[in-house]
Amino acid sequence: MKLSLKIWRQESFDAKGSMISYQLDKVSSDMSFLEMLDLLNEELVQKGERVIEFDHDCREGICGQCGIMINGRAHGPLSNTTTCQLHMRSFKDGDTIYIEPFRAEAFPIIRDLKIDRKAFDHIIQAGGYISTSTGQPPEANSILISHDNTEAAFDAAACIGCGACVATCKNSSAALFTSAKITHLALLPQGKLEAAQRVINMVDQMDTEGFGHCSNTEACEVECPQDIAVLHIARMNYEYNKALVFKP
């Protein structure tokens, strides 16, 4: 395939960026999207030009590092798919593809398509942990958890923290990410000890990081590669209000 690529280039956070055009030939439909960018970077290296920087790690859809906007949509045209799992067979010969970083005040651009997701780390640090006794691991059946709660907790824990929910939200809200992390622990008995303080700390930290407020457009659920449900946001609001009412 032959493709026309319009890619955001930005030297640093403080620098002014712009869309730069590239032409790429001999793109295989079996390539992943990131392999296509690798191919372009190989050509840039041969020309002595600076390569296009983008985030990636596992390339298996589980680390959440590879998120970019492709033709105005987080992770590209397919639903429940990360950028690294997107293949070039989703495009046609002669297509023009616009490639940009996730944009949000809390996600400053480092360079080109690389963004700083440290704000998510700060939210986790504020309360995404549990207290437990050290020493020998407990017997497996000492804490009984219902199947429904287990499955619901696993569904919430599936969030990979890619930031697509923030990038696609008109308010740049991190409510889906934060609520998934809160729900994961709120449903399990191991998370009960810090439950009230956890939700208050994490929601407050979310606001401190500069994320916007949720206005229930549900765009975040549509673009989430792990299909995290907005029902978690309702649970987060419930847990937050409960914590405020019963706070000692």
Query: Going by CATH, does the domain composed of 118-246 fall within 1.10.1060.10?
Result: yes
- What share of the chain has pLDDT > 90, as a percent? 90
- What share of the chain has pLDDT > 70, as a percent? 100
User: Above 70 in pLDDT, residue 140?
Assistant: yes
Segment 127-137 mean pLDDT:
84
User: Above 70 in pLDDT, residue 216?
Assistant: yes
CA distance 154 to 188: 10
pLDDT tens digits for range 218-227: 999 999 999 9
Query: Going by CATH, does the domain composed of 3-110 fall within 3.90.470.20?
Result: no
Residue 32 phi/psi, 5° resolution? -80, 165
**What pLDDT does 248 receive?**
63
Beta strand pairing call for 69-70 and 73-74: antiparallel
Cα-based distances in Å from 45 to 10, 20, 39, 51, 114: 18, 16, 10, 7, 19
User: Above 90 in pLDDT, residue 138?
Assistant: no
Q: Where are the domains of the chain?
A: 3-110, 118-246
73: which residues sit within 8 A by CB, 6+ positions away? 168, 223
CA distance 151 to 115: 32
pLDDT tens digits for range 24-64: 999 999 999 999 999 999 999 999 999 999 999 999 999 99
**What pLDDT does 65 receive?**
93
pLDDT tens digits for range 156-196: 999 999 999 999 999 999 999 999 999 999 999 989 989 99
CA distance 26 to 28: 6
**E strands within the chain?**
3-9, 18-24, 69-70, 73-74, 96-100, 109-111, 114-115
